Amino acid sequence: MNGENWEDLRKRMYVLFQELEQKYSDKTIVLVSHGDPILLFKGITMGIEDKDFLEPYIKTKASEIRLSYPAYAKEEILPMSKAPLDDSGRLDLHRPYVDVLELECAHCDGKMKRVPEVMDVWLDSGTMPFSQWHYPFENKEKVDAKGSKKPEFFPADFIVEAIDQTRGWFYTLMAISVLLDRGAPYKNVMVTGHVVDKNGKKMSKSLGNIVDPWEMIDKYGSDAVRWYFFTMNNPADTKRFSEQELKEVQQKFLGTLWNSFSFFELYAPPKTKIPDSVSSSIRQAQDKDNILDKWILSRLATVNEEVQKKMDVYEITAATRAISAFVTDDLSNWYIRRSRDRFQHPSSKEDLKLASELLGFVLKQTALLSASFIPFVAESIWLGLGEKSSVHLAELSKIDKKSQKPELEQAMEALRFKIQIALKLRAQSGQKVRQPLGKLVFDAKTADKDKLDKKLFLLLQEELNIEKVEIVAALSKDPAWVSDEQAGIAIDTTITPALYINGLMRELIRQVQVTRKDAGMKPKEYVLLRLSAQGRSGEDIMKRAEEIKKDVYAKKIETGEKRAGEDFIVEREFDLGESRVWMGLRKIKN
């Protein structure tokens, strides 16, 4: 209970070591002992840690670790170490223990000892631009200018560290370089702020608000964590960490980018060759009437220019936010969504090939542009698009002024803004987007002021599910119309019998697609669809059933009651307007 522990024994052996050094200096003595004391004494004379000299004697039995000694007496010569040892006999190169160390001078018979003065530990870091080249003893051309020729590696383009290095590394680099009459050792300084919890409090064990970065990386991926910090705020600002926000970033940007790539993989023809730059076939697409193709290429070129310019002046947050907006708002939510029918039901093989090459090119350039920020996802997409070498070995594409069409981008932006207003008007009227409406109008003054392009009206019709768009002298005051006079938009909400049936057919398509998905069918798997509709609009639905074949991937559509002995992989019954509809699906060979 009051016995001596291992650390106590070690200290006692060190005291003995010191006493023997003083009493028998420069003499050879014989020590006779056994067990732990002599082993510890041996380790102290060698100036090494316990585990390094005890290893040969450690034996493990179950959960018990014991020392196993030689079965007979063993004679050893123990050199008395001159190494600096702390109070427990362990090697310690810090003051005051290192002060006892003396070294032989190679040039004279004198002794070398540590000088008593202590310099700032940042001194060696401050000399880095010079000491890394062993300057001035060699490699002078890397630091000094020679005539009109600038030095290769001085000054640095930029340095980056946390804000606390303002008085540390940033300062000592500058101070030493100026003292050597070399001026500023860096052209730009990037400072990163500290990470705190979501409430702005410093993370600590006592508050229980510490977030393990490895846990976040394992859960969301390192690219998501990187992107979260890049886009959160400017580098020097304090980072309030929120796991929920990290999750949203992963889903909104990385999830959207990956889904865009998956869309390409699903619909592009096998072995689609994707050019490295705007090829003749893509230029051909720009010359055609597909306004979306021209627009997305223009947006890509504009974003490429914006990101490169922002990176040149170290505006990381602005650069990454530009990429994020392009991927989520432009590429996925507008170009791919509005081109979905073109990929799913192409007008020709040639058009599908052209559309696939263009989308592949946009994805490829996006991976290249974002590779510095999301290295793993960008690499996966890059290689998935057929490249053999790493994206990190490729150079950024040159800014493509030829593809940029500023007026088209402005017109599309104005149109999309008008669409948001029109959607609010539809919502006010209580009409869902699936219900087609007859007409939307812009007043002439608004159309002229906002430079609305009539070539874009087809996109507006498809997005809003409106059959006709016109520009008129003045908005209608009819109560059947909903309007926003400030925005210069009005919509006729009158539901004619034809519009009502059109709405039912769109809802029928949605119901079939949901049923396909619930049955686990793949997008391109063809089916036989049997429909039976009863009620007020049942006959009209049955007559127009053939119209939805393309939209629901039905090779064949049959109408009428289920026949005896007829099997389906899924059957469903539901209300459609004032009608009751039954459907049955079964797979059929393409």
* pLDDT tens, position by position, 183-217: 999 999 999 888 888 888 888 888 888 889 999 99
**What contacts 365, CB < 8 A, 6 or more positions away?**
300, 304, 397
pLDDT at position 57 over 70: no
pLDDT at position 31 over 60: yes
Quick check: helix, strand or coil at residue 137? coil
CA distance 42 to 30: 13
Last residue of a domain, one of 473, 495, 517: 495
Last residue of a domain, one of 167, 192, 217: 192
pLDDT at position 61 over 50: no
C-alpha closest to that of 430 among 511, 491, 474: 491
DSSP code per residue over 217-247: HHHH-HHHHHHHHHHHS-TTS-EE--HHHHH
Same domain? 484 vs 355: no
Same domain? 455 vs 570: no
Q: Would you say the C-alpha torsion 555, 560, 565, 569 has a positive or negative sign?
A: positive
Which pLDDT value is given to residue 333?
Answer: 94
Q: What's the Cα-to-Cα distance from 181 to each of 121, 130, 546, rounded to whole Å?
A: 22, 13, 84
The predicted model gives 261-284 an average pLDDT of 81
The residue to which tokens 């391109």 are assigned? 524
User: If pLDDT is split at 50, 70 and 90, which confidence band does 80 have?
Assistant: low
232 falls within a domain: no
Q: Tell me the HSE value of 188 on the side-chain side, using a 13 A CA sphere.
A: 9
The whole domain housing 247 covers 243-404
C-alpha closest to that of 122 among 84, 75, 173: 173
User: If pLDDT is split at 50, 70 and 90, which confidence band does 1 have?
Assistant: very low
445 falls within a domain: yes
pLDDT at position 352 over 80: yes
Average pLDDT score over the chain? 86
CA distance 410 to 450: 9
Same domain? 543 vs 491: no
Number of domains in the chain: 5
Q: What's the Cα-to-Cα distance from 227 to each of 165, 396, 479, rounded to whole Å?
A: 24, 19, 50
142 falls within a domain: yes
C-alpha closest to that of 451 among 400, 479, 394, 412: 412
pTM (2 decimals)?
0.76
Same domain? 314 vs 331: yes
Same domain? 267 vs 391: yes
C-alpha closest to that of 491 among 435, 414, 411, 453: 435
334 falls within a domain: yes
CA distance 577 to 589: 33
Backbone dihedral angles phi then psi of residue 291, each to the nearest 5 degrees: -65, -30
Pick from 14-28, 32-46, 376-390 the range whose average pLDDT is largest: 376-390
Give, for 158, the enclosing helix (H) or strand (E). Answer: strand 156-162
Cβ atoms of 45 and 79 within 8 Å: the answer is yes
Same domain? 285 vs 350: yes
Which pLDDT value is given to residue 62?
Answer: 47
pLDDT at position 476 over 60: yes
Number of other CB atoms surrounding residue 56 within 10 Å: 8
Q: Would you say the C-alpha torsion 138, 144, 150, 155 has a positive or negative sign?
A: positive
Last residue of a domain, one of 192, 219, 235: 192
The residue to which tokens 């070398």 are assigned? 112
Which pLDDT value is given to residue 276?
Answer: 76
Which pLDDT value is given to residue 327?
Answer: 97
Backbone dihedral angles phi then psi of residue 471, each to the nearest 5 degrees: -110, 125
Residue with the bigger pLDDT between 461 and 41: it is: 461
CATH of the domain at 391: 1.10.730.10
The predicted model gives 443-457 an average pLDDT of 84
Using DSSP bridges, classify how beta strands 527-535 and 554-559 pair: parallel, antiparallel or unpaired: parallel
Give, for 583, the enclosing helix (H) or strand (E). Answer: strand 579-587
Using DSSP bridges, classify how beta strands 103-104 and 64-67 pair: parallel, antiparallel or unpaired: unpaired
pLDDT above 90: percentage of residues in the chain: 41
Number of other CB atoms surrounding residue 223 within 10 Å: 22
Backbone dihedral angles phi then psi of residue 326, each to the nearest 5 degrees: -65, -45
Residue with the bigger pLDDT between 271 and 263: it is: 263
The predicted model gives 212-236 an average pLDDT of 93
pLDDT at position 3 over 60: yes
The predicted model gives 139-154 an average pLDDT of 87
266 falls within a domain: yes
Same domain? 544 vs 460: no
Same domain? 292 vs 150: no
Same domain? 481 vs 512: no
Which pLDDT value is given to residue 89?
Answer: 78
User: If pLDDT is split at 50, 70 and 90, which confidence band does 322 have?
Assistant: very high
108 falls within a domain: no
User: If pLDDT is split at 50, 70 and 90, which confidence band does 494 have?
Assistant: very high
Question: Each residue of 86-127: pLDDT tens digit?
Answer: 877 787 888 888 888 888 888 888 888 888 777 777 888 899
Length of the chain: 590
CA distance 391 to 387: 8
CA distance 233 to 194: 12
218 falls within a domain: no
CA distance 552 to 432: 21
CA distance 560 to 516: 20
Q: Per the structure block, which two tokens stand in for 452?
A: 């609305």
Same domain? 290 vs 339: yes
**What contacts 526, CB < 8 A, 6 or more positions away?**
553, 554, 555, 587, 588, 589, 590
81 falls within a domain: yes
Q: In the 8-state DSSP scheme, what is residue 198?
A: T
Which pLDDT value is given to residue 167?
Answer: 84
- What's the distance, CA 90 to chain centroid? 47
User: If pLDDT is split at 50, 70 and 90, which confidence band does 338 have?
Assistant: very high
Same domain? 396 vs 444: no
Same domain? 345 vs 292: yes
User: If pLDDT is split at 50, 70 and 90, which confidence band does 525 have?
Assistant: confident
Question: Each residue of 548-580: pLDDT tens digit?
Answer: 988 888 889 988 888 888 889 999 999 988 889
Q: Which of 221-230, 313-322, 378-387, 443-452 has the lowest mean pLDDT?
A: 443-452
